[in-house]
Amino acid sequence: MAEVETTREGAVLTITLNRPDVLNAFNAALHEGLAAALKEARGPDVRAVVVTGAGRGFCVGQDLTEFREAPRDIGSRLRDTYHPNVLALRTLEKPVIAAVNGVAAGAGMSFACACDLRIAADSASFVPAFINIGLIPDSGGSYFVTRILGPARAFEWLTSGRKLTAAEAHAWGLVSEVVETDGLTARAAEVAAQLAALPTRAIGMTKRLIDHALNATLERQLEREAELQAAATQTEDFREGVAAFLEKRPPEFGGR
């Protein structure tokens, strides 16, 4: 079985991390498989992506058995393996849903937080495990968690290393909804199908705008909006949206 599997249902690509015996911990093969899956997600017919884990875990970050021996240059390893996938995910101009089916720990928690939406099973949990082994948040963990939770809560959580239940994560705004474990796959597929039917290019540009807004002045953000709105008006979906409105019928967006 491949360490990462992809399946297609219509315009939705599901990426499954597949090392269930170790709760889908990252090793070299998983990084490579994820890179290939994220490349597949760039295909023009894919309009929404779901990332999930096989078995009872989502992803527990770095495979710690690789740390039995003194770790080599971790900085380079992060740059060569984790960073390209985090960047590929954030620059993917399509909605990405993390269907968090179980524990998300360390870089697995970071990766879930890099997604655009998180839907959690009621049995899922989130553990910023880095501090428990004397490390600091990486793979974007400090970046995404700070932006989602704000600096005070991010500091408290990332330095405590404590496990958040799915219900707590929902109360904190870390996940958008919590569903019964048995219903997670269906609910993630339903949300993904809804997103896949929307104007994909406008969603991609909205994602870019949101990322840009986090570090921009109002002037720069207004300019970016103007640039991307000019691009949005060139899409087929814009023409369809206006035509459907004027003809008083539901729009049929093709994602172009």
Q: Least distance (Å) from ligand T3D to the CB of residue 29?
A: 14
Residue linked to tokens 């990486």 = 138
Say if residues 16 and 53 touch (Cβ distance below 8 Å). yes
Residue 138 annotated in active site: yes
SS3 28: helix
For ligand T3D, the binding residues in 134-173 under the rule CB under 6 A are 135, 138
Q: Which of 21, 73, 80, 138 is catalytic?
A: 138
31 labelled catalytic = no
120: β partners:
100, 178
Q: Site for ligand T3D (CB under 6 A): which residue of 95, 106, 199, 255?
A: 106
Supply the DSSP symbol for 119.
Answer: E
Nearest-approach distance from CB 189 to ligand T3D, in angstroms: 26
Rounded distance between C-alpha atoms, residue 59 and residue 223, angstroms: 38
The two structure tokens encoding residue 37: 């899956």
Per rule CB under 6 A, count of chain residues that contact ligand T3D = 23
- Closest residue to ligand T3D: CB criterion: 61
The correct pick among 58, 111, 130, 157 for binding ligand T3D (CB under 6 A) is 130
E strands, the chain, in order? 4-9, 12-17, 48-53, 57-59, 96-100, 103-105, 117-121, 125-127, 164-165, 177-179
Binding of ligand T3D at residue 53 (CB under 6 A)? no
Query: In the complex, what is the shortest distance from the CB of residue 27 to ligand T3D, in angstroms, rounded to a whole number?
Result: 9
How far is the C-alpha of 22 from the C-alpha of 222, rounded, in Å?
46
The answer to the question of residue 113 lying near ligand T3D (CB under 6 A) is no
Helix extents (H) in 115-235: 141-149, 151-160, 166-171, 184-196, 200-213, 218-232
Among 38, 127, 145, 184, binds ligand T3D (CB under 6 A): 127
Nearest to residue 24, comparing CAs of 49, 48, 2?
Answer: 2
Q: Which of 12, 15, 17, 23 binds ligand T3D (CB under 6 A)?
A: 23
CB 107 within 8 A of CB 142: no
Out of 17, 41, 92, 103, name the contact with ligand T3D by CB under 6 A.
Answer: 103
By CB under 6 A, residue 105 contacts ligand T3D: yes
Subset of residues 54 to 93 that bind ligand T3D, contact rule: CB under 6 A: 60-65, 71, 74, 77-78
Q: How far is the CB of 141 from ligand T3D (least distance, A)?
A: 8
**Smallest distance, ligand T3D to C-beta of residue 171, A:** 20
24 in Cβ contact with 56 (< 8 Å): no
Catalytic annotation, pick one of 83, 116, 212, 237? 83
Catalytic site positions: 83, 138
List residues near ligand T3D by CB under 6 A.
22-23, 25, 60-65, 71, 74, 77-78, 103, 105-107, 127, 129-130, 133, 135, 138
